[in-house]
Amino acid sequence: MNLAALSAERRRPSLRGAHCPQRQNRCVKALVSALVTLLCVTRAAEAQLTDARSNTQSFDGYVSLLADAFPSVREGGDRSAVAELRPRLFAEYRRELNSRLHLTIAGFAEALIADRSGERTATASIVRPQEVSLEARWKRADLRIGWSRVTWGRLDELPPTDVVNPQDLTRFFFEGRAEGRMPVAMLRGRWRRSETFSLEGIYVPVFRSGRYDQLDEESAPFNVRPRALCSRTPARMCLPVRTERLEPAHDLANAQGGMRATGTTGRVDWAVSAYRGFESLPLYEGAATVSASPSVLTLLERFPRFTMLAGDVETVRGHWGLRGEMATFVDRSLQAGAAIVKGRVVEAGVGVDRKAGEYRVSGNALLTRRAFTGRVTLPDNESDGGEIDRTDLTLVTFIDRSFAGATRTIRGFGVFNPGEQSAFARASVLMHVRDNVSLEAAVGWFAGRGSHVLARFTDRDFVYTRLKVFF
């Protein structure tokens, strides 16, 4: 254990299954007050803007109610059903302060009332910024400061170079990558030499981790944090796991950032980028020696550094859109059992999309090569390089069709790893019952066993329905 390293990290201990009624009450009160406040602000702002609405400012948003169910979530050897209710209020205000300065304030209040694992009713509420930024624009440059989201990469849903913002996995699986993207504090500058060449620089001073779920993460169905570790001996002894989160401290040495040059040659858009950041979801490292109890294994949640060098292209030929992306993570830490090891990862993908009759279809193939390059700590004898030296092919497909005057939309999204026969599929139906009211139903299905990331979510099949009212 590197004590010096620990002292430079923020510690957040957590024990799965912890139950705290007082916290729930506080959550409910916070939710109610937040919703009331936001609604009041919303209505007041809307009233003010009714007359003053112009091209220089806009205010809008939505209220939604999502009900979801996981029929059979497996925790260890037990299976249980999960049912959740997620009301959400989202509002966005945009204003041109003058011809140069542009302000965006967007955020949401969301609550959770859930029956998880059949043991308790989980409640939680949050109020979060989605975008709070000020952008200055000049003829050839712009500068943005604030909490914001930036999209890098060209491929659908699993672009290797989209590393700036962390993801909320629950929203990713429910709604897709765009909705799952969480804002980070950033300073972003762009210089545009011309329509065909620009240079972008991003500085992220404060680390923000990705989340399995922003609402009561501990009991979230998509939280695949290890609950117990078992030996591979015939006796198969298992120890319950206590996790301790070690996030990078908020100091100058832990800043993240990168550059991206974007250009157009003929009708081919291309970009090269470099980024130095932290893993947004934790890797786990065994630390039995620091456990409070000999019968509980402590796992440290670490967010190691990585360095990415990448390139991507996009063009159109006839009815086909063609996209490609390649990222080399020259130093990346990899999970190997209960250890974190040094490695190198190359991810390369190609994608096509087109309109086919009434359907819009796209397909991506993503090749991931992970290579073990060294050892950091291997407290568990199970871990070896052979587990992580691997190549995976991931196929991603997307299809959608709108009909009845675009008031009905069906969508299908699938991810498939043929090597391990693991897969995720999501199908949804969206119906606009009025101009500002939509009703959506979706089903998500996971399959496979193995060490591919998708297989970790097996037994998290879900269904949901959502009512959304825009204002």
Partner 1 sequence: MRAFTLCALIWRSFVPCVFALSLPGDVQTPRWVAEQIDARDIGRDSRMEMTMRLFDRRGRVRERRLGLTALRGRGSSGDRELVRFLSPGDIKGTALLVWEHDGAEDERFLFLPALGRVRRIAGAEKQESFVGSDLSYEDIGGRELDDYTYAFVERNASWKAPNGHTCAAWQLESIAKDAQVAYPRLVSLVCKDSFIVVSADVFNRRNEREKHYEVRRLEGIDGVWTVMDLVMTNETQKTRTELSVTSVRYNIGLKESDFSRRALEEAMP
Kindly tell me which of 249 and 361 has the beta carbon lying closer to partner 1: 361
Q: Which of residues 205-264 bind partner 1 (CB under 8 A)?
A: none
Q: Write out the two tokens for 429.
A: 């139906």
Kindly tell me which of 40 and 469 has the beta carbon lying closer to partner 1: 469
Only one of the segments 57-65, 241-249, 289-297, 341-349 lies at the binding site for partner 1 (rule: CB under 8 A); that segment is 57-65
**Least distance (Å) from partner 1 to the CB of residue 176?**
8
Half-sphere exposure of 145 toward its Cβ, with a 13 Å CA cutoff? Answer: 3
Residues 6 or more apart whose Cβ sits within 8 Å of residue 381: none
265 lines the binding site for partner 1 (CB under 8 A): no
- For 382, phi then psi, to 5°, come to -70, -30
Name the residue nearer to partner 1 (CB basis): 250 or 408: 408
If binding means CB under 8 A, how many residues of this protein chain bind partner 1?
A: 44
- The least CB distance from residue 178 to partner 1, in Å, is 4
138 lies in the site for partner 1, by CB under 8 A = no
Least gap, CB of 374 to partner 1 (angstroms): 36
55: helix, strand or coil: coil
x/- map, 158-187, partner 1, by CB under 8 A: --------------------xx-x------
Q: Does 331 bind partner 1 (CB under 8 A)?
A: no
**Interface with partner 1, residue 96, by CB under 8 A:** yes
Do residues 324 and 311 touch, judged by C-beta distance below 8 A?
A: no
CB 120 within 8 A of CB 376: no
Name every residue whose Cβ is closer than 8 Å to that of residue 2 and which is 6 or more positions away in sequence: none
Q: Is residue 266 a contact point for partner 1 (CB under 8 A)? A: no
Asked if 354 touches partner 1 (CB under 8 A), the answer is yes
Structure tokens at 276: 């130095």
Q: Are the CB atoms for 106 and 129 separated by under 8 Å?
A: yes
Our CB check for partner 1 shows the closer of 214 and 438 to be: 438
Using only C-alpha atoms, the chain has a radius of gyration, in whole angstroms, of: 23
Distance CA 168, CA 13 (A): 20
* Residue in the block written with tokens 């220089």: 56
Only segment of 16-24, 29-37, 54-62, 341-349 that touches partner 1 (CB under 8 A): 54-62
- For the bound state, the minimum distance from the C-beta of residue 84 to partner 1, rounded and expressed in Å, comes to 23
Neighbours of 420 (CB within 10 A): 18
Query: Minimal distance in Å, beta carbon 307 to partner 1?
Result: 23
Q: Which positions from 385 through 424 interact with partner 1, judged by CB under 8 A?
A: 402, 404-407
Q: Is 436 in the site for partner 1 (CB under 8 A)?
A: yes
Binds partner 1 (CB under 8 A): choice among 27, 66, 82, 150: 150
In 3D space, the residue among 12, 467, 3, 1 whose CA is nearest the CA of residue 246 turns out to be: 12
* Pairwise CA distance, residues 398 & 176, whole Å: 11
Of 26-34, 227-235, 316-324, 328-336, which part binds partner 1 (CB under 8 A)?
Answer: 316-324
* DSSP letters spanning 333-344: EEEETTEEEEEE
Q: Which of 301, 353, 392, 461 binds partner 1 (CB under 8 A)?
A: 353
Task: Report the SS3 class of residue 221.
Answer: coil
Q: How far is the CB of 320 from partner 1 (least distance, A)?
A: 6
Cβ-contact 277, 44 below 8 angstroms: no
Q: Return the structure tokens found at 447.
A: 């399959």
Residues within the interface to partner 1 (CB under 8 A): 55-56, 58, 60-62, 94, 96, 102, 137, 142, 149-151, 154, 178-179, 181, 192, 195, 267, 269, 314-316, 318-321, 353-355, 402, 404-407, 432, 435-436, 438, 468, 470-471
